[in-house]
Amino acid sequence: MTVTALDPRTALVVIDLQAGIAGLPVQPYPAADVIARSAELADAFRARGLPVVLVRVSFAADGSDAPTGRTEVAGSGHALPEGWDVIVDELSGHPEDITVTKHNWGAFHGTDLDVQLRRRGITQIVLTGIATSIGVESTARAAYEHGYHVTLATDAMADRSAEAHRASVEQLFPRLGETGTTEEILALLATAHG
């Protein structure tokens, strides 16, 4: 399926394209491609005066603000390197962008993302980022629950495995919104927003 419409007040929300995550091996697209496509979308949104939200995940050095729930997968067990939470160069340096720092998988829980979007009259978001089945999917679920129209740029996201990416794209995302390629979204943006 392809994306059918972009609302007049649509925002681009980019998930976790930061130094410590963009350097991880991901599939089915390399991180460099995800970054390039996200940057292309960000430039197009900025050119039309539409908001770009850069979401990053970060934790205090002592881990005091990291999630504490019991899981079957142990944490990394090591300190995160300095600068791991810095937004990649290809997307940074635009003072008009909104930066949201999260401490969970999803960008809505415990942040001011919803307030930032509603203050600007946003009714739809386009999502990109890493990882498809974690940060992107969690944010898409919450956006849907908050009543936003959700569009997912499926070639501007990647995951640690192609199977995890595919499961989100094929099974879950069609239930939360519309999916499309970067090219399809850019074409709609050009038509809808000149």
- pLDDT for residue 67: 65
Q: Which of 141, 115, 149, 175 is nearest to 15 (CA)?
A: 141
Q: What is the dihedral of CA 65, 70, 72, 77, to 10 degrees?
A: 40
- Helix (H) / strand (E) element for 133: namely none
Spatial contact of 149 and 7, defined as CB atoms under 8 Å apart: yes
Chain-centroid distance, C-alpha 44 = 16
Which of 179, 137, 151 has the alpha carbon at shortest distance from 12? 151
Question: What is the CATH T-level fold of the domain 10-58+84-193, as seen in this structure?
Answer: Rossmann fold (3.40.50)
- pLDDT tens for each residue of the chain, 194 residues long: 589 999 999 999 999 999 999 989 999 999 999 999 999 999 999 999 999 999 999 866 556 566 666 667 665 545 667 788 999 999 999 999 999 999 989 999 999 999 999 999 999 999 999 999 999 999 999 999 999 999 999 999 999 999 999 999 999 999 999 999 999 999 999 998 76
Question: Residue 83 has what pLDDT?
Answer: 82
Token pair for residue 72?
């079957």
State both tokens at 164. Answer: 């995890």
pLDDT of residue 192: 83
Measured N-to-C along each axis, helices 31-47 and 182-193 cross at an angle, to the nearest 10 degrees, of: 0
- Spatial distance between the Cα atoms of 185 and 168, rounded to a whole number of angstroms: 19
pLDDT (0 to 100) of residue 70: 64
Residue type at 22 in one-letter notation: A
